[in-house]
Structure 1
Amino acid sequence: MSDIRNVPATGADSGRRSRRPWAAAAVAGALVALLSGASAVTANSAGGGPAADGQSPAVRACDVPRPGEAACLAEVLPGSAPGSRTQAPAGYGPADLRSAYGLTAAVRAGAGKGRTVAIVDAFDAPTVEADLAVYRSTYGLPPCTTDNGCFRKVNQRGDTAPLPQPDAGWGVEISLDVQAVSALCPSCDILLVESDNANWDSLADGVDTAVRLGATTVSNSYGGPESDVTDNRSHGTGPDPVRAASYNHPGVPIVAAAGDAGFQLDALYPATLSTVTAVGGTTLKKSDTARGWSETAWATNYKGGAAGAGCSAHVAKPAWQHDRDCPNRTLTDISAVADPVTGLAVYDSIRDPNGPPAGWMKVGGTSASAPLVAAMYALAGHTEDVRDASRLYAHRDRLNDISGGSVSVPHSGQECPASSYLCTALRGYDGPTGLGTPDGLGAFAPVH
């Protein structure tokens, strides 16, 4: 296994921050569970369980970003990572996710073959292809390798070398993204574009490169406060965020995570762009319903983690969005599982002294829901006329309407009343889950 210790880089990326306080967070989560009388989450309870009266002690995979940088949105559940190279945790695998979203038949029919899901992330994950091989073999998926043409990894310029500096936190993010796509679209090709760093221009270059190299759809599991981007725009005039054009590629759906910090007055970019499909998050559990699954919004936990929601201060409301309380673009459009407690099984072999043990772990965040939705776009195909999320709004009756769960963060200074659809999952459209979650591929069909 690789051992990445974040040796300081040279040039523009020198002085990387110290790693996340993983061990401290894991202990804190266990103490909260103990004091509340609840059992700590382990890797042995299928689909996860409440760690503190329903509250997740998940910690972010990546460092807190510096000004001008995006944050990766993967969250790892302490206690879910046994460090095992052979035994997967109880996080959801491909069969679970396909069942939950009505995709089993489409996958069995080979949907997605010949289409490419691109993933744009920062820094390099040197073990990503080997880790993907472990994941796919564990779940009986066909190999996806450089040699067979299924997997390709390039830098932000589209070249196979040189690759960026490795980063263990973003490595977890990358593993989550490529494995989530594999879970729902094993017949899809995967293009991983690694930007030089987490700066906005570098990530935007990565999106443009992904489209230039033939991506069917592009997934972006990162974000930052809209004001940080607009206030620091390097070029352009007016209220448009820097490099907004890089997220506008008609015929190629651009998907972005809506965030993991609940309702925010300063909404998350690039999900706020009207050319992007903004993906929120749910808590997904097995049930005895006809569907076999139940979902609520990924609600605020004691650390403030929750599905992102908000109202743009800069991007005008698109013609296809009609909610009443936000005069501009509203987050989100659609959602899928994101709660780390009910997260995905992910394999990552990078040994990070201040991160999760190498091996299998349970990972969530809207970093999980975004690549899942990107994979669904590829499964459905016929993306030539996709310019934005309007297709989903035209087919809202083909989605699971989600109710229950507030993402207002107490004592944050930006609380939102539980009665408001902007921060609570209510019947119909709402901020945390948008129009709802996929029920098969009907919502991704062309509009006639």
Structure 2
Amino acid sequence: MLAAAVVAAGFATPAASAAPAPRAACPERPGVLRCLTTYTPGSARVSAAGPAGWGADDLASAYRLPAAAGPDTVVGISIAYDAPNLEADLATYRAQYGLPPCTTANGCFRKVNQQGAAAPLPAADFGWSVESTLDVSMVSAACPSCRLLVVEGNSPGFADLAETEDTAARLGAKVVSNSYGAREGGAPLAYASHYRHPGVTVVASSGDSGFTAASYPAVLASTIAVGGTSLARDPDSPRGWAEQAWTYGGSGCSAYIAKPKWQQDTHCGKRTVADVAAAAEDIAIHATDAGGWLPVSGTSASAPFVAGLIGRSGHAGTTQPASVYANASAFTDVTTGSNDPAGGGKKCGGDYLCVAGPGYDAPTGTGVPNGLAGF
């Protein structure tokens, strides 16, 4: 099933003798946004039997999430194309981790097109379907009590996804998660106003290309930009977990967006990405079209997870980018690793722009969640 889905999505099937390599679920194309998820087709870790990778219980432990159920905040997910199996895959994920059902029937799950209607939905797309599944799973892991509003754009074009953002806000979302990005520039920035709504918190993935040009819409001053980390168990630490900057997590200096007053780092004259971070590597999801359970990676995982935490905090809509800087001491500082795929931070001269260290750094921002206090 996975091989057929990969071929249908336009990907080449690896040779039988070659080890499978990670691939972008949404390969980069000029003039459109792309989802920020990678997966490994043909991996032995793809299984119908059970999850591989970090699950909701692991994330709850790593980020010290409260046991009590949170509010039923509406979290919007802006996405391109339809994911026909989304509700069923979500049900499998939530059942696996003991999370309460979130269905159309009980009013927790709603899927609409970019105009806000239940039909007609856009055409399906394999890569964006994996992305949608990751998004709803991560919001669920962070906030089992939150309601999910999935708004599907006709395409990954700037105009279509901008409309999904407006629709999510119009239909009551207090937080909107965006797990996609494109290099900032005049064409995408023309739609910046769609990512700014009174009483709504907007969250976006920082990118999956390491230290490079800043990613839109994460670069917008109205958006909480979420970077990525690699998570590992550490029984010798009080936390029980260790974390470092994810090699491919996005960071960058804007060439367009003025430096916000709430951002004080000194080596970017304009807006710096990212603001906060969370796990973005080896995350377990269930995607029927990909063969069942599989691990995926990308800041497409960390952004919806943070969106869910904001929904769970009870401060959705009032939490804005400035908030995470004002509450920087409430986050766990990540002080190791870099997002220079070439290694060692050479790409930025060992600077905080691509190397994690004490205090603010661009790959992990002010740090990773420590409960809900930062939001």
Distance change (3 Å), C-alpha of 1:285 and 1:27: farther
Matches within 5 A, 1:6-45: 19-21=10-12, 23=14, 29=19
Alpha-carbon offset, residue 175 of structure 1: 0.5
Matches within 5 A, 1:244-255: 244-255=192-203
Alpha-carbon offset, residue 334 of structure 1: 0.1
User: 2:288 matched to 1:349?
Assistant: yes
Kindly indicate whether the alpha-carbon contact (under 8 Å) linking 2:46 and 2:295 is maintained by their aligned counterparts in 1. no
Q: Tell me the amino acid that sits aligned with residue 94 of structure 1.
A: A
Please name the residue that 1:133 is paired with.
91
CA–CA separation in structure 2 for the residues paired with 1:277 and 1:134: 29
CA–CA separation in structure 2 for the residues paired with 1:173 and 1:443: 26
Distance change (3 Å), C-alpha of 1:22 and 1:176: farther
Q: 1:109 aligns with which of 54, 68, 72?
A: 68
Please name the residue that 1:242 is paired with.
190
Distance change (3 Å), C-alpha of 1:434 and 1:28: farther
CA–CA separation in structure 2 for the residues paired with 1:80 and 1:394: 43
User: 2:335 matched to 1:403?
Assistant: yes
Kindly indicate whether the alpha-carbon contact (under 8 Å) linking 1:20 and 1:61 is maintained by their aligned counterparts in 2. no
> What SS does structure 2 have at the residue aligned with 1:170?
helix
> What SS does structure 2 have at the residue aligned with 1:192?
strand
Q: Report the TM-score, using the length of structure 2 for normalisation.
A: 0.94
Q: Report the TM-score, using the length of structure 1 for normalisation.
A: 0.79
User: 2:216 matched to 1:269?
Assistant: yes
Alpha-carbon offset, residue 90 of structure 1: 2.7
Matches within 5 A, 1:388-399: 388-399=320-331
CA–CA separation in structure 2 for the residues paired with 1:79 and 1:166: 21
Please name the residue that 2:266 is paired with.
324
Alpha-carbon offset, residue 328 of structure 1: 0.3
Taking only aligned residues, the RMSD between alpha carbons, in angstroms, comes to 2.1
Distance change (3 Å), C-alpha of 1:246 and 1:415: farther
> What SS does structure 2 have at the residue aligned with 1:209?
helix
Alpha-carbon offset, residue 384 of structure 1: 4.1
CA radius of gyration, larger in: 1
> What SS does structure 2 have at the residue aligned with 1:320?
coil
Kindly indicate whether the alpha-carbon contact (under 8 Å) linking 1:81 and 1:360 is maintained by their aligned counterparts in 2. no
Q: 2:234 aligns with which of 279, 287, 296?
A: 287
**Cα displacement string for residues 183-236 of structure 1 (whole angstroms, at most 9, x for unaligned residues):** 121111111011000001100100110010000201000000012xx1x36xxx
Percent of residue pairs bearing the same amino acid type: 47
Gaps of 5+ in 2: none
Gaps of 5+ in 1: 8-17, 31-56, 234-240, 300-305, 351-356
CA–CA separation in structure 2 for the residues paired with 1:29 and 1:393: 43
Kindly indicate whether the alpha-carbon contact (under 8 Å) linking 1:4 and 1:167 is maintained by their aligned counterparts in 2. no
Matches within 5 A, 1:192-207: 192-207=150-165
Q: 1:378 aligns with which of 293, 311, 317?
A: 311
CA–CA separation in structure 2 for the residues paired with 1:138 and 1:80: 21
> What SS does structure 2 have at the residue aligned with 1:432?
coil
User: 2:259 matched to 1:296?
Assistant: no
Q: 2:22 aligns with which of 55, 58, 61?
A: 58
Distance change (3 Å), C-alpha of 1:28 and 1:443: farther
Please name the residue that 1:94 is paired with.
56
